[in-house]
Chain A
Amino acid sequence: MTLSRLIARRTIEGIATLAVIAVLLFGGVELIPGDPARTILGQSVTEEAVRNLRVALRLDQPVHERFLSWVEAAAQGDLGTSILNGRPVAPDFAWRAKNTLFLAGYAAAMSIPLSIMLGLLAALYRDRLLDRAISLGSLATISFPEFFVGYVLLTVFALNLGWFPVLSSVTPEMGLAERLSRCFLPAVTLSCLIGAYVLRITRAAVVSILSRPYIEMAELKGASRTAIVLRHALVNAVGPIANVVALALAYMVVGIVVTEVVFTYPGLGQWMVDSVAKHDMNVILVCGLAFGATYVGLNVLADIAAALASPRLRHPR
């Protein structure tokens, strides 16, 4: 299969996946117990207000009609408004998505090169002191829940040392330097979370390749350890590493609600969770589809990276 055919096929699969996600999201929100109108009104619920709100939310219409009219509007680029505060979803989404991507990118830039390097070192010095130290350290960071890491970082570096701010609430007009400083602690928290994961997969992948016969061959012909790892082992380990990096990146885009709350960061996660709690369908659909697209897109990229690194994948027997 050629590369372009691979890309085309995966893109079509991706779009189909997103369509299924949209249906599942819509159906899932419908299945949440309780009447959305009552949930939104909370303690100020009255029968008259419930009636009026149900009409405003078009809950008196059948599910499939509401879904189809959403699809129709979305196809024309209209993502609708939040049923909670009446604001158009698109600009709020764009702003929060930018924040989420910025933080994910920041954390990735910090942690992925470092953890791949440490993973390689651990593989190179397998079962020696350095390997043990790296493994122990990575196990520790992966075991602490993110809110714990976050609070410890806040207490030490923001409250006691005062090097970084407590509130990471970035604003659109904020300069890059301040933004980097405000996002530093949440980025470190996320790095702890995903770094260890990437590190361990890198180590495992390289170690398994190092036991292959062709590595033995390279050793016999007299190649140095560094050359073996970099030229022979790493290139063949790109597949699994690219996959775990893609998963880690996707995780940072969709799963950082806790980090957002601890650091008061205006990303997509908290918005999505609050919207689900209040049945804010338009927001849920847009966020959910964006999250789905992130996973699908990153997986396609990982496949392409793996194919580029290994001709065998491009030309299967």
Chain B
Amino acid sequence: MTGFEAFGRRGLFGVGAAGLLAAGLPATARAQATPKRGGKLRIGIVGQTANTLDHTSPIFASPNERVVNYTLFNTLVEIDPTGKAIPELAESWEIGPGAKRWVFNLRKGVTFHNGKEMTADDVVFSLRRHNAEGSKSGALALMRDLEAINKTDKYQIEIIHKTGSLDIHYLMSDYHFAIVPDGDNSHKGMGTGPYVLQTWEPGVRFRGTRNANYWKSGRAHVDEVEITVVNDDAARVSALRAGEVDIINRLDPRTVRLVEAAADLKANIAKGYGFYTVNMRTDIAPFNNPDLRMAFKLATNRKELLDRILRGYGSLGNDHPIAEALPFHASLPQREMDLDKARFHFQKSGFSGTIPLHTSTAVFSSAIDMAVLMQAQAQKIGMNISVERQPPDGYWGNIWLKEPFHMSYWTGRITTDIMLSTGYASNSVWNEGHWKNPRFDELLVRARTEFDEAKRAALYAECQSLLRDDGGVMIPLFNSFIDGAKKSLGGDLTAPNMEMAGGRIAERCWLG
């Protein structure tokens, strides 16, 4: 099995620059005006006061870090605006038998901002630092099943997966896996990316100027990028309306209309992979009773939640975590509110009493409102829920995965396999419902190395179905990414994997 066949099935044959460009940009972008060079792009974004440029730091995760990352660095693989993996620093890849050994062929002649050529040594260093001894990296769990990362040639590396996986190229697009020079632990933003670091004030400001030697053609149109951290929702919208920034992230659903009403502004809305979930631990009372889980799933009025919590900017969930935009999303019948059936299951469960639902603004800003709405909905079948509001700091450490009934949020994962393996298999690092289903586990492992696309889709469909009907999660909603931007800002600026054009806003946009 060669690499070209492998990703040919994903609809990408050409890997030359011209073919890449045509395949990478969907029709909307090609229809837009031709890119314009020059100018300064000003971004207003959510960040944290202790922002960092260290990819291996556990706090390297905020939107500011992700966008700055793709402004300074490249990864081996890029996610295009439709969610497909396309070559970036790796110009092609080959998948061995059983998808255990992957070979990535690196692009030649790519240089870091300091002029040094990027080679296999840099790539191996950049990847290995995440699972090195004593690693605190947020990507540690992602690398759990990787057995080895080796240099095979100056321009080639191999990655060995313990059991085999067809998603390694997607994994390599993760923002943690940015390529830095071999041995560079200074975290000064030295990368191969479209912009060169000029100013870095954590939690305040970033400034970068165009990399004159950038290897990608047809990208990086603006001369300068300035990013200001603006954590207050109202201040971000105000800065956009006053014309002090060209684009902001996380537009509050309530302010979308306000932005759309302005003649020169628009909301860029992308259906994403992120979702809200209510976890019911299947290993302890009371939700070890499948009827009680089903009662709650059926009692929830998802449409009301979508309208009232997200103002319609999202889509309905079906109690499994695979978003519509993901390749192996199974079109199962949408679970609707059905009070009669819900009452039946609730009575059958024999449960009486009050179940505390733990939630916090750490989950998302309207999590308390959502909990209160669900409480009222469950009340209709006689199911009593008390809303336990928890402080935001410590929620993920003390409540999440621990309490029998609690809320959670996921930004989603880049493939169906990574999503299901991360949160729903018996041996998942974060098994949301403490759900253990041998059939599910077996299907998931088989699908990971199933080269036949149709068969693989069928395996994932059964996984989603099992989770939907028996799993310990009620997933009512998927949210959309909403950026606010000037209408004059050109380019394909939405992507399903992340806000701000998948984090690559700096190299994909141009000023009109």
Contacts and interface: CB of A to CB of B under 8 A. Distances in A.
Contacts of B392: 277
Contact of B394 (A33, A169, A270, A271): A33
Interface stretch (B26-34, B233-241, B337-345): B233-241
A278 B242 contact: no
B134 to A, nearest CB: 5
B159 interface: no
Contacts of A92: 202
Interface string B158-198: 00000000000000000000000000000100000000000
Nearest to A44: B138
A134 B80 CA distance: 62
B452 interface: no
A62 interface: no
Main secondary structure of the interface of B (DSSP, over half): loop
A151 B234 contact: yes
Contacts of B203: 266, 270-271, 274
A159 B397 contact: no
A169 B242 contact: no
A85 B393 contact: no
Contacts of A261: 231-232, 235
A39 B394 contact: yes
B397 A39 contact: yes
Given A44-B58, A49-B136, A85 B235 contact: no
A105 interface: no
B141 A40 contact: no
A166 B51 CA distance: 22
A278 B202 contact: no
Contacts of B430: 43
A1 to B, nearest CB: 44
B234 A85 contact: no
A181 to B, nearest CB: 13
Interface string B130-147: 000011111011000000
B393 A46 contact: no
A84 B50 contact: yes
B296 interface: no
Contact of B397 (A41, A158, A162, A270): A41
Contacts of B57: 84-86
Most central of B136, B204, B393, B394 by chain A CB within 10 Å:
B136
B92 interface: no
Contacts of B400: 43
A45 interface: yes
A166 B235 contact: yes
A177 B405 CA distance: 55
A65 interface: no
Contacts, number: 151
A279 to B, nearest CB: 8
Contacts of B54: 85-86
B205 A171 contact: yes
A156 to B, nearest CB: 12
A266 B201 contact: yes
A141 to B, nearest CB: 21
Contacts of A39: 393-394, 396-397
A271 B231 CA distance: 12
B136 A274 contact: no
Q: Contact residue range for chain B?
A: 35 or more
A274 B244 contact: no
A159 to B, nearest CB: 6
A255 B61 CA distance: 28
Interface string A74-87: 00000000101111
A44 B51 contact: no
A38 B50 CA distance: 17
Given A34-B393, A49-B137, A85 B232 contact: no
Interface string B24-60: 0000000000000000000010001111101001110
A263 interface: yes
Interface in B388-436: 392-394, 396-398, 400, 429-430
A308 interface: no
B463 interface: no
B395 to A, nearest CB: 9
Contact of A33 (B58, B205, B398): B398
A45 B422 CA distance: 12
A204 interface: no
B119 interface: no
Contacts of A213: none
Contacts of A38: 394, 396-398
A23 interface: no
Nearest to A171: B205
A46 B140 contact: yes
A40 B50 CA distance: 11
Given A38-B397, A86-B54, A270 B138 contact: no
B52 A85 contact: yes
Nearest to B139: A44
A143 interface: no
B50 A275 contact: yes
Interface in B199-232: 199, 201-205, 228-232
A159 B393 contact: no
Contacts of A82: 50
A169 B393 contact: no
Nearest to B394: A34
Interface in A18-52: 32-35, 38-46, 48-49, 52
A75 to B, nearest CB: 25
Contact of B187 (A33, A86, A167): A86
B263 to A, nearest CB: 15
Most central of A46, A56, A270 by chain B CB within 10 Å:
A46
Interface string A168-183: 0101000000000000
Given A43-B396, A154-B238, A280-B50, A52 B136 contact: yes
A133 interface: no
A165 B134 CA distance: 46
Nearest to A85: B52
A49 B394 contact: no
A53 B136 contact: yes
Contacts of A278: 50, 59, 393
5 contacts: A44-B141, A49-B141, A155-B238, A162-B242, A262-B232
Q: Nearest 5 A-B pairs (CB), nearest first? A: A38-B397, A34-B394, A85-B52, A84-B50, A44-B138
Given A49-B140, A158-B242, A262-B234, 6 more contacts: A39-B394, A40-B59, A43-B430, A53-B58, A85-B59, A274-B49
